[in-house]
Amino acid sequence: MSYPSASQVWSSWPIDDVDALLGLEATEMDLVPPLQDTFGWALPNGELPAVDAMNLPLERQTCLTLSHDAESATPPSELKLPDLPDILQLIDLFFEKCYHYFPVIHKQTALDAIKSEGTDGIPLVLLYAIIAAAAAVHPNCRIRQSQRAWYEQAKSLVSKEIQQPHHVLQTLQAAIVVIYLGLALVDYSSSIIILGEAWRKTVAVGHSYGDGLRNLIVQTLGTQEKAKWIEKEEIKRISWMLFIMDRGMCYPIGLMHAIDDRRMKMEFPMSEDDFQSTEAPPSCSMDRFTYNLDTLITTMRDRSLRGSATQLQYIILGYALLGRISEALDHTDDGDEARRERLDTLCAQLAKIRLILPRSATELSMAKYDEFTGVVWLNIVLNACTALLHHRPLREGESLDDAETDIARHWPYCVAAARNTISILRDASRVSIDFVSNAHFPCLIFTTSRILLVEYFYPSKCDKSARDPKLREDLEVVALTYIRMREEWRGLGQKFGKGMYYYLHRGEEFARETKAAGARTLLGVCDTWITIPDDFDLTIPG
C-alpha cells in the first residue's frame, strides 16, 4: 500500500466527500429552530466573510480585524524545541499515557511524519500540544518543568493558527489537547474560548454544503484535497471530543452548554483498533447521532447486541444524557410539574441506558485492561447523572422529615450513585491509580462527593447525631484521590481539594439546606474556595 508523503498528509485538509461527516443536510436545516449566532471568521487579509459580517455589530467587526492585524504584526516568539530523541520519547509517552483522554490522532501517521521529516513533519501547533501533554508524565524533572511554557506556546499557536488556512486538521487536534490541558492546569477561561473557536471551525469544515458557502470555506479555511478515511475519522473524533468537553466544562458551574445537539447528526466514531490500523476498515453503514434520546438509546442497544458498540460511544451517550439533564435543570420557565415530568422522563432513560450496557463496559473485572480508563469514566458520568436527576428540592410547605416527599423517595438513589462512584475508584485502585490523571474526572467526582458530604453531616436515618463510619471511609477515598491528583495536576488537585475542605467545614446546617434545595445547589462557581490556604488538611471529622 502506498502512502502520501508526510508533507502532503500534514499540510492540507480535504473538501470533497466531507459534507456528510457531521450529518447536516440542507433539507434538514429547515426543521431545526434557528439559533442566534454572531460568530465571525477573519479572512487572511483581516476582513470578515460576507455571510458573517452582516451578522456582527460594527464594533465587533473593527475589534476582530484589528486584533487579527496585531497578531500578524507581532507573532509570538517560539520556544526552542527539545532534541529529537526527547521529542520521540514524549510522543511515545503521549500515546501511552495521555491519548486515552482525547483519542483524536492517528498514531502511525504522526510517527511516520516525524520519523521521515523530523520536527518539520508535524506542524508546530500540534507538536507543542503533544509534548506539553506528555511532559506531565515524563521522568525527567527538567522536561516536566517545561510543561507550562510548552502549553502556553501551544495555546498561542492555536489561537493564531485557527484563523489560518494551513494544516487545519492538525490545528483542531492541537486545540483538543490544549483545551484538555487548560482543564488540567486550571486555565478554564482559555479552554472555554478555544472550545468555541474550535467547534465553529470544525462545523465550518465538516458542514461545507452549498456552493457559495463551500467556495468561501475553501478560501478561508484552506480546504484542498479529497478526504481520506483517516482524516474523516479524525474530524469525527474531534467533533465528539468537543461535544464531551463542552458538556463536561459547562454543567458543573450551571452554565448552559454551547454545542446544540439538535443540529447534530454525526456518525459515531469507529473502534479504536480500526482507527489505528494502517488499512482502511471494511466499508459499513455507521449509525448516526440523533437528538431523540429514546431513538439514540435504541440505536446504541442494537449496536451493543451486535457487538459493534465501543466504550467511547457509550461515553458519548452518557454525556448526551448529562447535557439533557443540564437543560432540564436550567429550564426556569417550566413550572414545578413540567420540570418534574422532564426529570422523571430522563430518569427512565437513564435506567434504559444502564440496562443496555454490557458488563464489560461498566465492570473492571469484565473489561479489557486498555479500557479500564473508559470503564471508570463511564461509571462516574452515569453516577453524576443519577445524583443530579434524583436530588429533588423540597416544595413549599414540605419538610425533610416528611416521608412522602419527592426528596424522601429520590434521595437514596443519590447516595447509592455517590457510593457507587467510590466503589469504582476503589476497584480501579487495586490495579492502578492512573485514573487521577484524567482531567475530565474531578468535576464529576466532586458532584457525587457533595452528596456524600450531605448524607454524612445530615444523615437520612432517624438518629442524625450518629455519623456513618462507612461514609467516612468513602469520603477518605475522595480526599485521597484529590491528594494524589495534586501529584499529577497540582492546580487541579489543589482546587478540588480546597472545595472539599470548604464543604467539610460548613457543618450540619449547611448540609440540611443543600439537601432541601435540590440539584442546582451542587452547581456553581468556586470563588468561595480561594481564601482557603494552600496547606489545608483534608481530615474527615469523626
d(CA 105, CA 103): 6
Within 10 angstroms of residue 187's Cβ, the number of other Cβ atoms is 19
Give the per-residue pLDDT at 36: 35
Give the per-residue pLDDT at 8: 44
Q: Do 136 and 151 contact (CB within 8 A), yes or no?
A: no
Q: Do 129 and 101 contact (CB within 8 A), yes or no?
A: no
Give the per-residue pLDDT at 204: 78
Give the per-residue pLDDT at 78: 58
Cell output for 82: 527539545
What band does 296 get if pLDDT is binned at 50, 70 and 90? very high
Q: Which residues, other chains included, contact 505 with Cβ-Cβ below 8 Å and sequence gap of 6+?
A: none
Extended strands (E) in 302-367 = none
Angle at 44 between CA 212 and CA 168, to 5 degrees: 75
Q: Is 153 or 64 the better-scoring residue by pLDDT?
A: 153
Does the structure show a pLDDT above 70 at 233? Answer: yes
Mean pLDDT of 193-220: 64
Alpha carbons within 13 angstroms on the beta-carbon side of residue 325 total: 32
Cell output for 505: 467545614
The helix (run of H) or strand (run of E) holding residue 494 is helix 490-504
Does the structure show a pLDDT above 70 at 222? Answer: no
Any bridge partners for residue 225, and if so which? 14
**C-alpha distance from residue 255 to each of 187, 200, 259, 454, 513 (Å):** 17, 19, 12, 23, 22
pLDDT digits (tens, 9 = 90+) for 121-180: 999 999 999 999 999 999 999 999 999 999 999 999 999 999 888 888 999 999 999 999
Place of cell 448524607: 455
The helix (run of H) or strand (run of E) holding residue 223 is strand 223-225
d(CA 516, CA 357): 33
**Which range in 256-260, 462-466, 525-529 is most confidently predicted, on average pLDDT?**
256-260
| Residue 41 DSSP class | -
Does the structure show a pLDDT above 50 at 373? Answer: yes
Does the structure show a pLDDT above 90 at 501? Answer: yes
Mean pLDDT of 13-24: 36
